[in-house]
Amino acid sequence: MRTKLVVGNWKMNGNLTQNQELLNAIITGTRELRDVVCAVCVPYPYLQAVQLVLKDTHITWGAQNVSQFDFGAYTGEVAAEMLLDFACRYVIVGHSERRSLFGEDNHTVAEKFKKTQSVGLIPILCVGETLAQREIGETERVIDEQLDAVIKLTGINSLAQSVIAYEPVWAIGTGRTATPAQAQSVHAFIRSKLAKQNTEVAASVQILYGGSVKSNNASDLFAMPDIDGGLIGGASLIAGEFISICSAV
């Protein structure tokens, strides 16, 4: 059986004081939860402070991006190896904001996925269509291409050591969530696509849903057979919301 996973994506938010308060509340509020793994992906400058607060707790942590390159002359970038110094477990790769605002294409995302795994970290690979793509019936084609770029570079078996996050772009930060049925249908599509190449990988990979998940819609989404948890943006910054979402599992 797949473990449920709820990951907070803080994006470019927070400061030392707020982070500490948020994490203390989350640690306390999720302590009794048994059937869910909770994690936060935080801005790079806070990784060390977050590590100090979360080590020896049940909450895991990670980064929101990583360079596809090895150490070297890449001003402003962060190498995967550096993340090991802060005991990260996860790295979000290919978030739609990285794709649309910072020009990351499918190949770059696949390289970041590969680099993340090469140092032993777990990539959370984000895929998803825009509203325009959905409206002309291209959802599956877009996701196919996003997944194929990774499979081509790293092979189908690599997906077993990863997490996939289906995040329809039109649902991110908009308050407009995919219905449980809409999300389930794409999750099932992803799983069946992987099953054509490897049934074990397809059965074991965690597929999260992301896009305006809140405490009032999380349990219906998480009840779907192919939805293994969530990638939570805005609501992960509010302790009560994030705790309720983790509890909804």
Residues with catalytic function: 95, 167
Determine the size of the site formed for ligand PGA (CB under 6 A).
13
CB 67 within 8 A of CB 104: no
Q: Is 14 in the site for ligand PGA (CB under 6 A)?
A: no
**For residues 202 and 211, which CB has a smaller minimum distance to ligand PGA in the complex?**
211
What b/e sequence results for 3-36 when a residue is b if at least 16 CB atoms lie within 10 Å of its CB, and e otherwise? ebbbbbbbbeebeeeebbebbeebbebbeebeeb
The correct pick among 213, 218, 221, 239 for binding ligand PGA (CB under 6 A) is 213
- Judged by CB under 6 A, the residue of 125, 211, 218, 242 near ligand PGA is 211
The answer to whether residue 227 forms part of the interface with ligand PGA (CB under 6 A) is no
- According to DSSP, the β-strands at 59-63 and 36-41 are parallel
Query: Is 39 an interacting residue with respect to ligand PGA (CB under 6 A)?
Result: no
Give the separation between CA 227 and CA 208, rounded to whole angstroms. Answer: 6
Q: Which C-beta is closer to ligand PGA: that of 111 or that of 241?
A: 241
Nearest to 178 by CA among 220, 149, 228, 235: 220
Q: Which of residues 144-173 bind ligand PGA (CB under 6 A)?
A: 167, 172-173
Q: Is 11 left (phi over 0), alpha (psi -120 to 50) or beta?
A: left
For ligand PGA, the closer CB: 177 or 184: 177
Residue closer to ligand PGA, measured from CB, 46 or 209? 209
Positions that interact with ligand PGA (CB under 6 A): 9, 167, 172-173, 210-213, 231-235
